[in-house]
């Protein structure tokens, strides 16, 4: 298993480096002049040229790329924001906890509620519990994030007055953003869990467990669920990327000053250091989440254990069979 973990860690490092290269290249070749947009239309050509020189935009592509990789991965310096004129790293540290609270809490809800809903639907196949659960899941996965967020604000803030509509403060400010971020993942995990449960529902080992008189909850927990976890874990991994993709929208609707809002404002202002750092943060978040998923996948899949275990990689010594003695001709 150590080799498997090392390979996944190296793969994560490669993904982060590739993401940094891609986002830098895209921003470099994007049409338009960031210096002109930051200074405004009233700036003269001389002022724009001087500002480009100050930002280092006049240097060749390879020089800028090398400086970016050196400053980011060697010195851990993300630069100064062109829009806010403060270090990008300090701004990310301020905003990161809010984004992580929403993302990690949504992941927990995805796993717990989605798994429970899928198991409930799979163990009641063809009944009203199954159809109701899947109808709710279909509704969650079909509704856009921004629409769900707006409807939650209207219902729970304006009509009922239970929760604050936007901003940051106590834990009550995070309830609606977390639920809104978790709903699509809950639906996907519920559908995948139901499908996995139905695949093992009528297997011989499940029938044998029932014939022994074990309770249904024990059959589901001890026999069905362990054999259905592999595709469920894969579905949970894909849910992480959906949470990351929806973070800017949810933070914008609920006016939460997180990394997503910071990235959107930096994109609109052509603030390249802030854009690169924000994208890199989301790439690291996704890569670490997928690493955890891969490790969980290896834990429940015995084939991976057998492949990367120490005994499975040893070469078996070939049996040496002595060659038959050469028959000597008998001279007549």
Render pLDDT for 270-287 as a digit per residue (tens, 0 to 9): 889 999 999 998 888 888
In a domain, 321, yes or no: no
> Region 47-51: what's the mean pLDDT?
85
Considering the chain, what percentage of its residues have pLDDT values greater than 70? 87
In a domain, 52, yes or no: no
pLDDT at 327 over 50: no
Confidence of residue 331 (pLDDT cuts 50, 70, 90): very low
In a domain, 90, yes or no: no
Determine the pLDDT at residue 312.
Answer: 46
Kindly state the tokens that stand for 144. 């856009």
pLDDT digits (tens, 9 = 90+) for 86-132: 899 988 888 888 888 888 888 888 888 888 888 888 878 778 888 88
In a domain, 257, yes or no: yes
Q: How far apart are CA 155 and CA 215, in angstroms?
A: 41
Alpha-carbon separation of residue 125 from 130, 143, 265 (angstroms): 6, 25, 48
Determine the pLDDT at residue 24.
Answer: 93
In a domain, 36, yes or no: no
100 closest CA partner among 294, 252, 281: 281
State the CATH number of the domain containing residue 192: 1.10.3720.10
pLDDT digits (tens, 9 = 90+) for 54-77: 888 888 899 999 999 999 999 888
Determine the pLDDT at residue 303.
Answer: 67
Confidence of residue 25 (pLDDT cuts 50, 70, 90): very high
Count structural domains, the chain.
1
Evaluate whether 140 touches 184 at the Cβ level (below 8 Å). Answer: yes
Confidence of residue 302 (pLDDT cuts 50, 70, 90): low
Q: Which domain holds residue 213?
A: 2-14+95-310
In a domain, 111, yes or no: yes
If you count them, how many residues does the chain have?
332
pLDDT digits (tens, 9 = 90+) for 169-201: 888 888 999 988 888 888 888 888 888 888 777
Q: How far apart are CA 238 and CA 206, in angstroms?
A: 29
In a domain, 86, yes or no: no
With 0-12 CB in 10 A as exposed, 13-18 as middle and 19+ as buried, what is 80? middle
Contacts of 19 (CB under 8 A, 6+ apart): 279, 280, 283
In a domain, 164, yes or no: yes
Determine the pLDDT at residue 329.
Answer: 42
Look up the pTM and report it.
0.75
């Amino acid at each position: 298993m150590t080799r498997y973990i090392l390979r996944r860690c190296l793969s994560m490092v490669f993904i982060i480096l590739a993401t940094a290269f891609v986002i830098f290249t895209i921003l470099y070749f994007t049409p338009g002049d960031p210096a002109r947009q930051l200074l405004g239309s009233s700036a003269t050509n001389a002022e724009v040229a001087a500002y480009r020189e100050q930002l280092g935009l006049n240097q060749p592509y390879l020089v800028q790329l090398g400086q970016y990789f050196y400053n980011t991965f060697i010195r851990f310096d993300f630069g100064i924001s062109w829009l806010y004129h403060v270090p990008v790293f300090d701004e990310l540290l301020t905003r990161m906890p809010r984004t992580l609270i929403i993302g990690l809490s949504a992941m927990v809800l995805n796993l717990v509620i989605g798994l429970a809903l899928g198991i409930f639907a799979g163990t009641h196949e063809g009944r009203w519990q199954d159809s109701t659960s899947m109808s709710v899941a279909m509704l969650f996965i079909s509704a856009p994030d921004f629409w769900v967020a707006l409807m939650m604000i209207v219902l729970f803030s304006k009509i009922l007055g239970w929760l604050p509509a936007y901003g940051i403060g106590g834990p009550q400010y995070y309830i609606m953003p977390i639920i809104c971020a978790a709903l699509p993942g809950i639906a996907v995990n519920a559908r995948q869990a139901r499908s996995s449960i139905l695949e093992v529902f009528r297997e011989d080992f499940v029938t044998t467990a029932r014939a022994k008189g074990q309770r249904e909850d024990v059959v589901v927990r001890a026999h069905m669920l362990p054999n259905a976890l592999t595709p469920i874990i894969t579905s949970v991994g894909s849910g992480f990327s959906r949470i990351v993709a929806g973070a800017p929208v949810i933070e914008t609707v609920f006016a939460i000053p997180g990394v997503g809002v910071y990235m959107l404002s930096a994109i609109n202002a052509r603030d390249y250091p802030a854009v690169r750092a924000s994208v890199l943060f989301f790439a690291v978040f996704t890569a670490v989440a997928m690493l955890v998923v891969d490790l969980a996948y290896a834990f429940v899949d015995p084939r991976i254990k057998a492949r990367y275990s120490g005994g499975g990689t040893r070469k078996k010594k070939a049996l040496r069979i002595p060659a038959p003695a050469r028959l000597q001709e008998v001279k007549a």
